[in-house]
A and B are shown apart, each in its own frame.
Chain A
Protein backbone atom coordinates (compact mmCIF):
# COMPACT_ATOMS: atom_id res chain seq x y z
CA UNK A 1 0.00 0.00 0.00
CA UNK A 2 2.59 2.47 1.14
CA UNK A 3 4.87 1.29 -1.56
CA UNK A 4 2.20 1.72 -4.13
CA UNK A 5 1.61 5.23 -3.00
CA UNK A 6 5.28 6.02 -3.14
CA UNK A 7 5.48 4.58 -6.61
CA UNK A 8 2.54 6.61 -7.66
CA UNK A 9 4.11 9.68 -6.21
CA UNK A 10 7.25 8.93 -8.14
CA UNK A 11 5.49 8.78 -11.45
CA UNK A 12 5.09 11.85 -13.62
CA UNK A 13 1.39 12.15 -13.05
CA UNK A 14 1.87 11.74 -9.34
CA UNK A 15 4.49 14.42 -9.30
CA UNK A 16 2.11 16.69 -11.08
CA UNK A 17 -0.62 16.07 -8.54
CA UNK A 18 1.67 16.61 -5.59
CA UNK A 19 2.99 19.70 -7.25
CA UNK A 20 -0.46 21.08 -7.83
CA UNK A 21 -1.49 20.46 -4.27
CA UNK A 22 1.68 22.09 -3.10
CA UNK A 23 1.10 25.05 -5.37
CA UNK A 24 -2.46 25.47 -4.15
CA UNK A 25 -1.27 25.37 -0.59
CA UNK A 26 1.40 27.87 -1.33
CA UNK A 27 -1.07 30.18 -3.06
CA UNK A 28 -3.33 30.23 -0.06
CA UNK A 29 -0.58 30.62 2.51
CA UNK A 30 1.10 33.29 0.44
CA UNK A 31 -2.08 35.30 0.08
CA UNK A 32 -2.86 35.06 3.77
CA UNK A 33 0.64 36.10 4.64
CA UNK A 34 0.64 38.98 2.18
CA UNK A 35 -2.66 40.44 3.34
CA UNK A 36 -1.31 40.38 6.85
CA UNK A 37 1.99 41.87 5.77
CA UNK A 38 0.31 44.53 3.71
CA UNK A 39 -1.83 45.71 6.57
CA UNK A 40 1.02 45.55 9.00
CA UNK A 41 3.44 47.39 6.73
CA UNK A 42 0.81 49.96 5.83
CA UNK A 43 0.11 50.43 9.49
CA UNK A 44 3.68 51.06 10.37
CA UNK A 45 4.14 53.44 7.47
CA UNK A 46 1.13 55.33 8.70
CA UNK A 47 2.22 55.67 12.31
CA UNK A 48 -0.11 53.06 13.65
CA UNK A 49 0.21 49.40 14.44
CA UNK A 50 -2.17 47.56 12.21
CA UNK A 51 -3.76 44.25 13.18
CA UNK A 52 -2.65 43.33 16.64
CA UNK A 53 -5.42 41.87 18.73
CA UNK A 54 -6.25 38.76 16.71
CA UNK A 55 -3.54 36.26 17.52
CA UNK A 56 0.07 37.17 18.22
CA UNK A 57 0.97 40.25 16.15
CA UNK A 58 -2.39 39.87 14.52
CA UNK A 59 -1.17 36.81 12.65
CA UNK A 60 -4.52 35.07 12.85
CA UNK A 61 -6.19 38.10 11.29
CA UNK A 62 -6.12 36.86 7.67
CA UNK A 63 -7.52 33.52 8.74
CA UNK A 64 -10.38 35.25 10.48
CA UNK A 65 -10.96 37.32 7.34
CA UNK A 66 -10.93 34.25 5.15
CA UNK A 67 -13.30 32.32 7.40
CA UNK A 68 -15.61 35.28 7.55
CA UNK A 69 -15.69 35.60 3.79
CA UNK A 70 -16.35 31.88 3.55
CA UNK A 71 -19.27 32.19 5.89
CA UNK A 72 -20.92 35.02 4.04
CA UNK A 73 -24.15 34.76 2.18
CA UNK A 74 -23.62 33.70 -1.40
CA UNK A 75 -25.19 36.62 -3.11
CA UNK A 76 -25.83 36.94 -6.80
CA UNK A 77 -27.14 40.32 -7.88
CA UNK A 78 -30.33 40.02 -9.84
CA UNK A 79 -29.26 41.54 -13.11
CA UNK A 80 -25.88 39.93 -13.68
CA UNK A 81 -24.97 37.86 -16.69
CA UNK A 82 -24.78 34.62 -14.78
CA UNK A 83 -22.29 32.46 -16.72
CA UNK A 84 -19.77 35.27 -17.00
CA UNK A 85 -20.32 36.42 -13.45
CA UNK A 86 -19.77 32.94 -12.03
CA UNK A 87 -16.88 31.97 -14.25
CA UNK A 88 -14.75 35.08 -13.86
CA UNK A 89 -13.40 34.55 -10.34
CA UNK A 90 -12.55 30.95 -11.10
CA UNK A 91 -10.93 31.66 -14.42
CA UNK A 92 -8.66 34.24 -12.90
CA UNK A 93 -6.93 31.36 -11.15
CA UNK A 94 -5.81 29.47 -14.23
CA UNK A 95 -2.90 31.75 -15.16
CA UNK A 96 -1.89 31.95 -11.55
CA UNK A 97 -1.64 28.20 -11.19
CA UNK A 98 0.07 27.69 -14.50
CA UNK A 99 2.69 30.26 -13.66
CA UNK A 100 3.55 28.46 -10.49
CA UNK A 101 4.16 25.24 -12.37
CA UNK A 102 7.16 26.58 -14.20
CA UNK A 103 8.73 28.79 -11.55
CA UNK A 104 11.77 27.10 -10.04
CA UNK A 105 11.69 27.50 -6.29
CA UNK A 106 14.95 25.67 -5.94
CA UNK A 107 17.31 23.72 -8.15
CA UNK A 108 15.15 20.67 -7.74
CA UNK A 109 11.90 22.22 -6.59
CA UNK A 110 9.87 22.86 -9.64
CA UNK A 111 6.68 21.19 -10.70
CA UNK A 112 7.67 20.99 -14.33
CA UNK A 113 10.54 22.45 -16.25
CA UNK A 114 9.04 23.35 -19.57
CA UNK A 115 11.59 24.51 -22.09
CA UNK A 116 9.45 27.43 -23.15
CA UNK A 117 8.56 28.34 -19.59
CA UNK A 118 8.47 32.05 -19.87
CA UNK A 119 6.27 31.90 -22.94
CA UNK A 120 3.81 29.79 -21.01
CA UNK A 121 3.65 32.36 -18.24
CA UNK A 122 3.23 35.30 -20.57
CA UNK A 123 0.68 33.56 -22.72
CA UNK A 124 -1.43 32.48 -19.82
CA UNK A 125 -1.22 35.76 -18.00
CA UNK A 126 -3.36 37.21 -20.78
CA UNK A 127 -6.21 35.12 -19.48
CA UNK A 128 -6.28 37.36 -16.43
CA UNK A 129 -7.46 40.18 -18.63
CA UNK A 130 -10.15 37.98 -20.05
CA UNK A 131 -11.53 37.13 -16.67
CA UNK A 132 -11.41 40.73 -15.54
CA UNK A 133 -13.33 41.70 -18.63
CA UNK A 134 -15.83 38.96 -17.93
CA UNK A 135 -16.25 40.15 -14.38
CA UNK A 136 -16.73 43.73 -15.49
CA UNK A 137 -19.16 42.90 -18.26
CA UNK A 138 -21.04 40.24 -16.34
CA UNK A 139 -21.63 42.41 -13.30
CA UNK A 140 -24.02 44.77 -15.04
CA UNK A 141 -22.53 47.66 -13.17
CA UNK A 142 -21.10 50.78 -14.72
CA UNK A 143 -18.22 51.07 -12.34
CA UNK A 144 -17.30 47.47 -12.98
CA UNK A 145 -17.44 47.93 -16.71
CA UNK A 146 -15.26 51.02 -16.73
CA UNK A 147 -12.87 49.30 -14.37
CA UNK A 148 -12.65 46.30 -16.64
CA UNK A 149 -12.15 48.37 -19.77
CA UNK A 150 -9.41 50.31 -18.08
CA UNK A 151 -7.83 47.09 -16.99
CA UNK A 152 -7.78 45.68 -20.49
CA UNK A 153 -6.23 48.78 -21.98
CA UNK A 154 -3.69 48.89 -19.23
CA UNK A 155 -2.71 45.25 -19.39
CA UNK A 156 -2.33 45.25 -23.14
CA UNK A 157 -0.17 48.34 -22.96
CA UNK A 158 2.08 46.95 -20.30
CA UNK A 159 2.35 43.40 -21.55
CA UNK A 160 4.51 44.59 -24.42
CA UNK A 161 7.24 46.36 -22.46
CA UNK A 162 7.16 43.46 -20.05
CA UNK A 163 7.94 41.00 -22.79
CA UNK A 164 10.48 43.31 -24.36
CA UNK A 165 12.24 43.67 -21.06
CA UNK A 166 12.47 39.93 -20.60
CA UNK A 167 13.79 39.25 -24.09
CA UNK A 168 17.34 40.55 -23.54
CA UNK A 169 17.67 38.15 -20.65
CA UNK A 170 16.48 35.32 -22.85
CA UNK A 171 19.06 36.33 -25.41
CA UNK A 172 21.78 36.43 -22.80
CA UNK A 173 20.81 33.10 -21.35
CA UNK A 174 20.09 31.54 -24.68
CA UNK A 175 17.11 29.74 -23.28
CA UNK A 176 13.44 30.09 -22.55
CA UNK A 177 13.49 27.71 -19.64
CA UNK A 178 13.34 29.42 -16.33
CA UNK A 179 15.66 27.01 -14.63
CA UNK A 180 18.34 27.43 -17.25
CA UNK A 181 18.07 31.18 -16.96
CA UNK A 182 18.74 30.87 -13.26
CA UNK A 183 21.63 28.50 -13.84
CA UNK A 184 23.21 31.01 -16.24
CA UNK A 185 23.32 33.58 -13.47
CA UNK A 186 25.71 31.61 -11.33
CA UNK A 187 28.42 34.18 -11.41
CA UNK A 188 26.68 37.37 -12.27
CA UNK A 189 23.06 38.37 -11.83
CA UNK A 190 21.48 39.69 -14.98
CA UNK A 191 20.36 42.81 -13.16
CA UNK A 192 23.97 43.98 -13.35
CA UNK A 193 24.09 43.61 -17.12
CA UNK A 194 20.50 44.64 -17.70
CA UNK A 195 19.53 47.25 -15.10
CA UNK A 196 17.26 49.06 -17.52
CA UNK A 197 15.39 45.93 -18.45
CA UNK A 198 14.92 45.16 -14.79
CA UNK A 199 13.40 48.55 -14.08
CA UNK A 200 11.14 48.39 -17.12
CA UNK A 201 10.03 44.92 -16.18
CA UNK A 202 9.31 45.92 -12.64
CA UNK A 203 7.26 48.96 -13.58
CA UNK A 204 5.31 46.94 -16.10
CA UNK A 205 4.88 44.26 -13.50
CA UNK A 206 3.39 46.66 -10.99
CA UNK A 207 1.05 47.86 -13.68
CA UNK A 208 0.08 44.30 -14.54
CA UNK A 209 -0.95 43.63 -10.99
CA UNK A 210 -3.10 46.76 -10.92
CA UNK A 211 -1.41 48.22 -7.90
CA UNK A 212 -0.90 51.86 -7.01
CA UNK A 213 0.29 54.00 -8.75
CA UNK A 214 -1.34 52.01 -11.54
CA UNK A 215 -4.45 50.88 -9.72
CA UNK A 216 -6.86 52.55 -12.12
CA UNK A 217 -9.12 49.56 -12.57
CA UNK A 218 -9.94 49.64 -8.89
CA UNK A 219 -9.52 53.36 -8.30
CA UNK A 220 -11.57 53.75 -5.19
CA UNK A 221 -12.22 57.44 -5.47
CA UNK A 222 -13.47 57.07 -9.02
CA UNK A 223 -14.85 53.61 -9.44
CA UNK A 224 -15.77 52.37 -5.96
CA UNK A 225 -14.09 48.98 -6.25
CA UNK A 226 -13.67 48.63 -10.00
CA UNK A 227 -14.39 45.34 -11.70
CA UNK A 228 -15.15 43.48 -8.48
CA UNK A 229 -17.64 46.01 -7.15
CA UNK A 230 -20.47 43.51 -7.40
CA UNK A 231 -18.65 40.54 -5.96
CA UNK A 232 -19.05 39.53 -2.37
CA UNK A 233 -18.05 36.78 0.01
CA UNK A 234 -16.01 33.93 -1.35
CA UNK A 235 -16.02 35.16 -4.93
CA UNK A 236 -14.54 38.42 -3.82
CA UNK A 237 -11.99 36.49 -1.80
CA UNK A 238 -10.94 34.69 -4.97
CA UNK A 239 -10.16 38.00 -6.65
CA UNK A 240 -8.26 39.03 -3.60
CA UNK A 241 -6.34 35.78 -3.62
CA UNK A 242 -5.51 36.16 -7.27
CA UNK A 243 -4.31 39.71 -6.77
CA UNK A 244 -1.88 38.77 -4.06
CA UNK A 245 -0.69 35.72 -5.90
CA UNK A 246 -0.09 37.83 -8.95
CA UNK A 247 2.04 40.18 -6.93
CA UNK A 248 4.12 37.26 -5.82
CA UNK A 249 4.44 35.89 -9.33
CA UNK A 250 5.59 39.20 -10.76
CA UNK A 251 8.18 39.44 -8.03
CA UNK A 252 9.20 35.81 -8.43
CA UNK A 253 9.76 36.22 -12.15
CA UNK A 254 11.77 39.34 -11.54
CA UNK A 255 13.85 37.45 -9.01
CA UNK A 256 14.31 34.55 -11.40
CA UNK A 257 15.22 36.63 -14.42
CA UNK A 258 17.29 39.33 -12.86
CA UNK A 259 18.27 38.48 -9.31
CA UNK A 260 19.63 35.00 -9.76
CA UNK A 261 16.55 33.10 -8.59
CA UNK A 262 17.49 30.49 -6.06
CA UNK A 263 21.21 31.16 -6.39
CA UNK A 264 23.00 32.37 -3.32
CA UNK A 265 25.63 31.38 -0.80
CA UNK A 266 25.24 29.44 2.45
CA UNK A 267 21.45 29.37 2.73
CA UNK A 268 19.45 26.79 0.81
CA UNK A 269 18.18 27.86 -2.57
CA UNK A 270 14.52 28.10 -1.68
CA UNK A 271 15.28 30.52 1.13
CA UNK A 272 17.19 32.74 -1.25
CA UNK A 273 14.45 32.58 -3.78
CA UNK A 274 11.74 33.50 -1.30
CA UNK A 275 13.90 36.17 0.24
CA UNK A 276 14.44 37.89 -3.10
CA UNK A 277 10.84 37.54 -4.13
CA UNK A 278 9.42 38.88 -0.93
CA UNK A 279 11.85 41.74 -0.97
CA UNK A 280 10.36 42.80 -4.28
CA UNK A 281 6.87 42.20 -2.93
CA UNK A 282 7.74 44.56 -0.14
CA UNK A 283 8.78 47.19 -2.64
CA UNK A 284 5.44 46.86 -4.40
CA UNK A 285 3.58 47.30 -1.13
CA UNK A 286 5.80 50.22 -0.27
CA UNK A 287 4.94 51.91 -3.56
CA UNK A 288 1.27 51.47 -2.94
CA UNK A 289 1.33 53.28 0.35
CA UNK A 290 3.47 56.12 -0.90
CA UNK A 291 2.27 57.23 -4.30
CA UNK A 292 -0.88 58.77 -5.66
CA UNK A 293 -2.52 57.27 -8.68
CA UNK A 294 -1.65 58.32 -12.20
CA UNK A 295 -4.27 59.36 -14.66
CA UNK A 296 -5.53 57.11 -17.38
CA UNK A 297 -4.04 58.90 -20.36
CA UNK A 298 -0.78 59.45 -18.51
CA UNK A 299 -0.64 55.76 -17.81
CA UNK A 300 -1.04 54.77 -21.44
CA UNK A 301 1.29 57.49 -22.67
CA UNK A 302 3.91 56.31 -20.28
CA UNK A 303 3.70 52.79 -21.64
CA UNK A 304 3.47 53.53 -25.34
CA UNK A 305 5.72 56.55 -25.54
CA UNK A 306 8.10 55.83 -22.72
CA UNK A 307 8.55 52.24 -21.78
CA UNK A 308 8.08 50.53 -25.12
CA UNK A 309 10.62 52.59 -27.11
CA UNK A 310 13.04 52.33 -24.26
CA UNK A 311 12.63 48.59 -24.05
CA UNK A 312 13.12 48.28 -27.81
CA UNK A 313 16.26 50.32 -27.62
CA UNK A 314 17.55 48.17 -24.84
CA UNK A 315 16.78 45.06 -26.82
CA UNK A 316 18.55 46.40 -29.89
CA UNK A 317 21.65 47.36 -28.01
CA UNK A 318 21.78 44.03 -26.24
CA UNK A 319 21.34 42.25 -29.52
CA UNK A 320 24.01 44.31 -31.15
CA UNK A 321 26.49 43.78 -28.35
CA UNK A 322 25.86 40.05 -28.35
CA UNK A 323 26.60 39.87 -32.03
CA UNK A 324 29.93 41.57 -31.73
Chain B
Protein backbone atom coordinates (compact mmCIF):
# COMPACT_ATOMS: atom_id res chain seq x y z
CA UNK B 1 0.00 0.00 0.00
CA UNK B 2 1.26 3.39 -0.90
CA UNK B 3 1.52 6.44 1.23
CA UNK B 4 -1.16 8.55 -0.34
CA UNK B 5 -4.85 8.58 -0.32
CA UNK B 6 -7.55 6.17 0.60
CA UNK B 7 -7.62 2.43 0.62
CA UNK B 8 -11.08 1.09 0.81
CA UNK B 9 -11.60 -2.38 2.18
CA UNK B 10 -13.13 -4.57 -0.44
CA UNK B 11 -16.74 -4.97 0.42
CA UNK B 12 -17.65 -8.43 1.51
CA UNK B 13 -20.81 -9.66 -0.05
CA UNK B 14 -21.93 -12.89 1.56
CA UNK B 15 -23.85 -14.21 -1.40
CA UNK B 16 -22.61 -13.53 -4.88
CA UNK B 17 -25.08 -13.21 -7.67
CA UNK B 18 -22.47 -13.66 -10.28
CA UNK B 19 -24.57 -13.29 -13.37
CA UNK B 20 -26.66 -10.43 -12.03
CA UNK B 21 -23.55 -8.65 -10.94
CA UNK B 22 -22.04 -9.08 -14.34
CA UNK B 23 -25.04 -7.72 -16.15
CA UNK B 24 -25.27 -4.81 -13.76
CA UNK B 25 -21.60 -4.03 -14.20
CA UNK B 26 -22.04 -4.07 -17.93
CA UNK B 27 -24.94 -1.66 -17.60
CA UNK B 28 -22.98 0.57 -15.25
CA UNK B 29 -19.99 0.71 -17.53
CA UNK B 30 -22.16 1.74 -20.41
CA UNK B 31 -24.03 4.41 -18.62
CA UNK B 32 -21.56 6.51 -16.68
CA UNK B 33 -23.34 9.77 -16.01
CA UNK B 34 -20.89 12.40 -14.89
CA UNK B 35 -21.75 15.05 -12.33
CA UNK B 36 -21.20 18.52 -13.76
CA UNK B 37 -18.21 19.54 -11.77
CA UNK B 38 -15.99 21.96 -13.63
CA UNK B 39 -13.23 23.48 -11.60
CA UNK B 40 -10.69 25.14 -13.82
CA UNK B 41 -9.06 24.99 -17.22
CA UNK B 42 -9.45 21.25 -17.54
CA UNK B 43 -13.22 21.66 -17.37
CA UNK B 44 -13.16 23.28 -20.78
CA UNK B 45 -11.50 20.22 -22.22
CA UNK B 46 -14.06 18.06 -20.48
CA UNK B 47 -16.78 20.08 -22.18
CA UNK B 48 -14.97 19.72 -25.46
CA UNK B 49 -15.01 15.98 -24.95
CA UNK B 50 -18.79 16.07 -24.73
CA UNK B 51 -19.14 18.20 -27.86
CA UNK B 52 -19.48 17.36 -31.49
CA UNK B 53 -16.00 16.28 -32.32
CA UNK B 54 -15.47 13.84 -29.49
CA UNK B 55 -19.01 13.14 -28.33
CA UNK B 56 -18.92 11.30 -25.04
CA UNK B 57 -22.56 10.41 -25.55
CA UNK B 58 -21.50 7.70 -27.95
CA UNK B 59 -20.61 5.62 -24.93
CA UNK B 60 -23.69 6.67 -23.03
CA UNK B 61 -21.63 9.00 -20.88
CA UNK B 62 -22.97 12.27 -22.20
CA UNK B 63 -25.73 12.80 -19.68
CA UNK B 64 -24.18 15.43 -17.45
CA UNK B 65 -26.30 15.67 -14.33
CA UNK B 66 -26.25 18.82 -12.29
CA UNK B 67 -27.36 17.06 -9.13
CA UNK B 68 -24.80 14.78 -7.50
CA UNK B 69 -27.63 12.48 -6.46
CA UNK B 70 -28.08 11.42 -10.03
CA UNK B 71 -24.49 11.03 -11.12
CA UNK B 72 -22.27 7.98 -11.14
CA UNK B 73 -19.01 9.59 -11.86
CA UNK B 74 -17.24 12.64 -10.62
CA UNK B 75 -14.66 14.05 -12.96
CA UNK B 76 -12.44 16.33 -10.93
CA UNK B 77 -11.30 18.76 -13.57
CA UNK B 78 -8.84 21.17 -12.16
CA UNK B 79 -7.23 22.58 -9.10
CA UNK B 80 -8.69 21.69 -5.74
CA UNK B 81 -8.09 24.40 -3.19
CA UNK B 82 -8.41 24.15 0.53
CA UNK B 83 -11.53 26.26 0.40
CA UNK B 84 -13.06 23.92 -2.17
CA UNK B 85 -12.05 20.69 -0.44
CA UNK B 86 -15.02 20.41 1.94
CA UNK B 87 -17.41 21.08 -0.92
CA UNK B 88 -15.83 18.39 -3.01
CA UNK B 89 -16.04 15.83 -0.24
CA UNK B 90 -19.67 16.69 0.41
CA UNK B 91 -20.49 16.30 -3.24
CA UNK B 92 -18.77 12.95 -3.33
CA UNK B 93 -20.67 11.82 -0.30
CA UNK B 94 -23.95 12.89 -1.83
CA UNK B 95 -23.50 10.60 -4.77
CA UNK B 96 -25.14 7.20 -4.40
CA UNK B 97 -22.81 4.26 -4.78
CA UNK B 98 -21.49 2.62 -6.84
CA UNK B 99 -19.60 5.74 -7.79
CA UNK B 100 -16.31 6.51 -9.41
CA UNK B 101 -13.88 9.37 -9.62
CA UNK B 102 -11.67 10.41 -12.47
CA UNK B 103 -8.87 12.83 -11.62
CA UNK B 104 -8.41 14.82 -14.76
CA UNK B 105 -5.35 16.98 -15.16
CA UNK B 106 -2.16 17.36 -13.22
CA UNK B 107 -3.78 19.65 -10.70
CA UNK B 108 -6.26 17.04 -9.63
CA UNK B 109 -3.59 14.38 -9.60
CA UNK B 110 -0.93 16.11 -7.59
CA UNK B 111 -1.42 19.86 -7.52
CA UNK B 112 0.24 20.17 -10.87
CA UNK B 113 2.00 23.40 -11.70
CA UNK B 114 0.92 25.15 -8.54
CA UNK B 115 3.00 23.31 -6.02
CA UNK B 116 5.75 25.43 -4.57
CA UNK B 117 7.31 25.81 -1.23
CA UNK B 118 5.17 27.93 1.00
CA UNK B 119 1.94 27.39 -0.90
CA UNK B 120 -1.00 27.99 1.36
CA UNK B 121 -4.14 27.13 -0.53
CA UNK B 122 -3.75 23.93 -2.46
CA UNK B 123 -4.77 20.34 -1.92
CA UNK B 124 -1.96 18.46 -3.57
CA UNK B 125 -3.97 15.81 -5.29
CA UNK B 126 -7.64 15.01 -5.01
CA UNK B 127 -6.80 11.49 -3.88
CA UNK B 128 -6.10 12.99 -0.50
CA UNK B 129 -9.82 13.69 -0.26
CA UNK B 130 -11.67 10.98 -2.13
CA UNK B 131 -10.63 7.67 -3.68
CA UNK B 132 -9.68 8.04 -7.32
CA UNK B 133 -10.22 5.35 -9.92
CA UNK B 134 -8.58 6.70 -13.02
CA UNK B 135 -5.91 9.37 -13.40
CA UNK B 136 -5.77 11.27 -16.66
CA UNK B 137 -2.55 13.26 -16.81
CA UNK B 138 -2.02 16.38 -18.86
CA UNK B 139 -2.25 20.10 -18.43
CA UNK B 140 -4.91 20.07 -19.70
CA UNK B 141 -5.36 16.53 -20.99
CA UNK B 142 -6.70 16.43 -24.50
CA UNK B 143 -10.29 15.26 -24.90
CA UNK B 144 -8.93 12.08 -26.43
CA UNK B 145 -7.09 11.44 -23.20
CA UNK B 146 -10.31 11.82 -21.25
CA UNK B 147 -12.01 9.38 -23.61
CA UNK B 148 -9.23 6.95 -22.95
CA UNK B 149 -9.81 7.55 -19.27
CA UNK B 150 -13.44 6.55 -19.74
CA UNK B 151 -12.42 3.40 -21.57
CA UNK B 152 -10.04 2.60 -18.73
CA UNK B 153 -12.79 3.06 -16.20
CA UNK B 154 -15.10 0.82 -18.18
CA UNK B 155 -12.37 -1.74 -18.26
CA UNK B 156 -12.01 -1.45 -14.55
CA UNK B 157 -15.72 -2.02 -14.05
CA UNK B 158 -16.31 -4.87 -16.46
CA UNK B 159 -12.90 -6.38 -16.86
CA UNK B 160 -13.00 -6.18 -20.62
CA UNK B 161 -11.91 -3.41 -22.89
CA UNK B 162 -14.22 -1.86 -25.44
CA UNK B 163 -11.86 -1.06 -28.27
CA UNK B 164 -8.58 -2.69 -29.22
CA UNK B 165 -5.73 -0.84 -27.68
CA UNK B 166 -3.78 1.38 -30.02
CA UNK B 167 -0.15 0.39 -30.09
CA UNK B 168 2.22 3.26 -29.67
CA UNK B 169 4.28 4.04 -32.73
CA UNK B 170 7.34 4.68 -30.64
Contact = CB atoms under 8 A, between A and B. Distances in A.
Interface string B23-63: 11011101100000000000000000001100101111011
B66 A51 contact: no
B58 A49 contact: yes
B124 interface: no
A30 interface: no
A232 B27 contact: no
A137 B30 CA distance: 33
A236 B60 CA distance: 18
Interface stretch (B1-9, B67-75, B81-89, B115-123): B67-75
Contact of B55 (A43, A54, A225): A43
B98 interface: yes
A51 B62 CA distance: 8
Interface in A54-107: 54, 58, 60-61, 63-68, 70-75, 77
Contacts of B70: 225, 228, 231-232, 236
A67 B55 contact: no
A18 B65 CA distance: 37
Contacts of A71: 24, 27-28, 98
Contact of A53 (B24, B28, B60, B98): B60
A51 B67 CA distance: 22
A75 B62 CA distance: 23
B57 A39 contact: yes
A142 interface: no
Contacts of B27: 63-68, 71
Given A47-B52, A68-B24, A225-B67, 16 more contacts: A43-B55, A43-B57, A46-B52, A51-B58, A51-B60, A51-B62, A53-B30, A53-B58, A53-B60, A64-B60, A66-B27, A71-B27, A72-B96, A75-B96, A220-B66, A230-B69
8 contacts: A39-B63, A48-B52, A50-B55, A51-B62, A58-B60, A71-B24, A229-B67, A236-B69
Contacts of B52: 46-48
Q: How large is the interface on B (under 10, 10 to 19, 20 to 34, 35 or more residues)?
A: 20 to 34
B167 to A, nearest CB: 21
Contacts of B30: 53-54, 60-61, 64, 68
A225 B97 contact: no
A68 B98 CA distance: 10
Contacts, number: 98
B96 A53 contact: no
B161 interface: no
A233 interface: yes
Contacts of A77: 69
B156 interface: no
Given A48-B51, A232-B70, A236-B70, A61 B24 contact: no
Given A63-B27, A231-B70, A48 B60 contact: no
A52 interface: yes
- Chain B CB within 10 A, most for which of A39, A53, A58: A53
Interface residues of A, number: 37
Given A64-B30, A68-B28, A71-B27, A224 B57 contact: no
Contacts of B60: 51, 53-54, 58, 61, 64-65
A142 B111 CA distance: 34
Contact of B26 (A52, A64, A74): A64
Interface string A209-251: 0000000000010001100111111001000000000000000
A49 B59 contact: no
Nearest to B51: A48
B20 to A, nearest CB: 9
Contacts of B72: 68, 72
A66 B60 CA distance: 12
A220 B65 CA distance: 9
A51 B57 contact: yes
Contacts of A230: 67, 69
Contacts of A73: 96-98
B92 to A, nearest CB: 13
A131 B27 CA distance: 30
Nearest to A224: B66
B31 A48 contact: no
A184 to B, nearest CB: 43
A72 B68 CA distance: 13
A165 to B, nearest CB: 33
Contact of A67 (B23, B58, B63): B23
Given A61-B30, A68-B28, A75-B69, A50 B23 contact: no
